[in-house]
A and B are shown apart, each in its own frame.
Chain A
């Protein structure tokens, strides 16, 4: 249980590959197949993938205490680091240099999110209805302040229904 936490700390980097190395190669806690299944599961469940993956691995290796240890192993170091970053933020934000740098960084973060949005949109190209759902979601949220729950239920249900229908009947 303790070494669950120790190894989870090294998860901190957020790299799935390094988690795989730790649990599959270094410690041989689970097989490659089990790990891949966990990764799929972590991606489909709500929550950060890396945290879900750690909880999954922790649970598989040491049950509930293992899951708790893995949870703490990921979130506690991240919490401490972000608090330090936050303390620096509040300390220096009024400095003109720092503030200009921060605005630049934030513009960069918008760019990353934009790049991510473009990349993910391209992945949807095998069904035209995906783009209707995408545009509907974006419009509903940005123009009409639709809540996350509403768009997930309404557009998500259509998306899931459509995917299942296409999968079983192969609609072109």
Chain B
């Protein structure tokens, strides 16, 4: 089976299951791309995820980097297309089909009903990404401080990541 087809299989499934804006797919993506196919190492996965948070646009754009590690530029394009096209197509068709049930509160029921699962998956993402970050007091301290700053201040996500990088140069080298 060609690597392109494997990329399509992995990312198209993640695309369709990407409820909650795609926040919940990280653990499964880690399982598939790191543990099963070994396209990237655990630390590469964490670093690509970080790049995804740093660049403009959806975080899941980093699937292009996973595709790149697996099969070069073509792999990047295939992975990204498989990640973005199915959910967008669903959005297009669902729009034409379902918009008629305007009164129905299905949107609220689905998003509120799935919310605890999505949040559980976000917690799982913390562990999945955490695996790829060098363990040690400094790394834990950075993560803890960033979590507090994110919750208590209005400093933007990319700025917090870049500040962490600066601390990393001093503390982790």
Residues of A within 8 A of B (CB): 12-14, 37, 40-52, 55-56, 59-60, 64, 67, 71, 74-75, 77-79, 81-83, 85-86, 89, 93, 96-97, 100-121, 123-124, 129-131, 133-138, 141-142, 145, 147-149, 151-152, 155-156, 159-164, 167
Contact = CB atoms under 8 A, between A and B. Distances in A.
A131 B60 CA distance: 26
B94 A103 contact: no
B46 interface: yes
A59 B172 CA distance: 48
B168 A133 contact: no
B132 A106 contact: yes
Interface of B: 13-19, 21-25, 27-28, 31, 43, 46-62, 64-65, 68, 73, 76-77, 80, 84-85, 87-88, 90-92, 94-96, 99, 102, 105, 107, 109-130, 132-134, 138-140, 142-151, 157, 160-169, 171-173
Given A120-B119, A152-B19, A74 B28 contact: no
B107 A155 contact: no
B120 A141 contact: yes
Given A89-B65, A147-B28, A42 B91 contact: yes
Contact of B50 (A47, A83, A109, A156): A109
B109 A85 contact: no
A97 B13 CA distance: 37
A108 B143 contact: yes
Contacts of B164: 104-105, 107-109, 111
B172 A103 contact: yes
B94 A45 contact: yes
A115 B151 CA distance: 6
A114 B147 contact: yes
Contacts of B112: 159, 163
Contact of B171 (A81, A104, A124, A159): A104
16 contacts: A86-B51, A101-B168, A104-B164, A104-B167, A105-B50, A109-B161, A113-B125, A117-B126, A120-B122, A121-B119, A141-B124, A148-B28, A152-B117, A163-B109, A163-B113, A167-B105
Contacts of B109: 160, 163-164, 167
Contact of B151 (A40, A64, A119): A119
Contacts of B111: 43-44
A45 B90 contact: yes
Contacts of B18: 46-48
B130 A104 contact: no
Contact of A106 (B47, B85, B113, B145): B47
A148 B58 contact: no
Contact of B117 (A42, A60, A100, A156): A156
